[in-house]
Amino acid sequence: MHRDTSKPEAEPLIGDRTMSGALPEAVNYHRYLYSKLRPSLGRRVWEIGSGYGQYTSMLLDDGLEVLATDIDAGMLEKLRQREQRAGLSTAPIDLADEASVARCASWHPDSVLCLNVLEHIGEDQRALAWLHRHLAPRCRAVFLTPAHPSLYGFMDSEAGHVRRYTRRTLAGAFEQSGWRVETSFYMNAIGGAGWFVRNRMFPPKSKDLDSPRVNDDIRFFDRWMVPATRALDPVFANLFGQSVVVIAIRD
C-alpha cells in the first residue's frame, strides 16, 4: 500500500505562492529537465500545472499541441496573453475534482506532463485513478515530484507540499491506481544535497521560500551547476535526487 508521509491537509497554496521568486529565471535547469522528459511525450500533450509557462513554451517551440491547465486562473490568463500562437489550448484543472479531470481528459491527449503538482494533492492516488479512468488507452503519464521524505523541511511546508516521494512510493501510487509503470528515476542529486543544506542545516532566519538566500541558491545552481548535474544524474538515478520521475502507461 502507498504510504502517505504527509502533514495534515490544509487549504492548498496555488500559483506563485508555491515557488521562489528566482525559479522562473532558472532557464538552464528547466531546459535540462525538459530534454530528459521530452522523448517520452507524444504530439498532443496535456500539461497539468502549467504555472508561469516555461515548459509550455518549450512544448510549443517543438510544434506540439498543448492543453495547458492550472488551478490558478490568474496564471492561466497570463499564459494565454503571452503565448498567443497556434497549438495552445488552456483550461482550469483541479485534481481534487473528478469532473474537472474528465473535462480536460476529453481533449484526448496522447501524453500527460505533470511537474511538481502531485505533492500538493492530499488524495494523490484518487487523482491518479481518475486520470486512469478518463484517459484513453496507451496515453503516457510523465510525472515529476519532490523526492525523499527525509528532505522535507520548511521550504516544502512554505510551498504547500503535502509529501515527498521515493521511487517506490511514487511508482506504487501509480500501480495501485491502475497504471503500468515503465520506468522511474531520480534527478538532480546536487540539488537534493543543496535542498538538505538550505532546509535542514542552514535555513534562512526568516524561513521564507522567497528569501534572498534561497533565491541566490537557485541563481547560483542554474548558472554554475547544471553541467555537473547532467554528468552526475546517470550515476545517481537509482539512488538519490531532488526530484523523482515516473513514466507510466494507461493500458
pLDDT at 243 over 70: yes
Would you state the cell numbers that stand for residue 109, as one nine-digit string?
Answer: 491527449
Question: Are 180 and 251 in contact, with CB atoms under 8 Å apart?
Answer: yes
99-149 pLDDT, tens digit per residue, is 999 999 999 999 999 999 999 999 999 999 999 999 999 999 999 999 999
Domain count, the chain: 1
> Does 3 fall in a domain?
no
Instruction: Residue 43: give its domain's CATH number.
Output: 3.40.50.150
Domain region containing 98: 19-249
Residue type, 82: R
> Does 4 fall in a domain?
no
Predicted pLDDT at 57: 97
> Does 65 fall in a domain?
yes
165 beta partners: 147
25-49 pLDDT, tens digit per residue, is 889 999 999 999 999 999 999 999 9
pLDDT at 242 over 80: yes
What's the pTM value of the predicted model, to 2 decimals? Answer: 0.92
> Does 163 fall in a domain?
yes
197-240 pLDDT, tens digit per residue, is 988 888 888 888 888 888 999 999 999 999 999 999 999 999 99
Tell me, letter by letter, the H, E, C secondary structure of 56-83: HHHHHHCCCEEEEEECCHHHHHHHHHHC
> Does 1 fall in a domain?
no
Predicted pLDDT at 4: 46
Residue type, 88: L
Q: Which residue has the cell 491506481?
A: 177
**Rounded mean pLDDT of the chain?**
92
Question: Are 141 and 246 in contact, with CB atoms under 8 Å apart?
Answer: yes
Question: Are 111 and 41 in contact, with CB atoms under 8 Å apart?
Answer: yes
Q: Left if phi > 0, otherwise alpha if psi is -120 to 50, otherwise beta: which for 236?
A: alpha
Local confidence band at 1 (pLDDT 50, 70, 90 cut-offs): very low
> Does 213 fall in a domain?
yes
> Does 167 fall in a domain?
yes
> Does 11 fall in a domain?
no
How many other C-beta atoms can be found within 10 angstroms of the C-beta atom of residue 215?
17
Would you state the cell numbers that stand for residue 203, as one nine-digit string?
Answer: 535555513
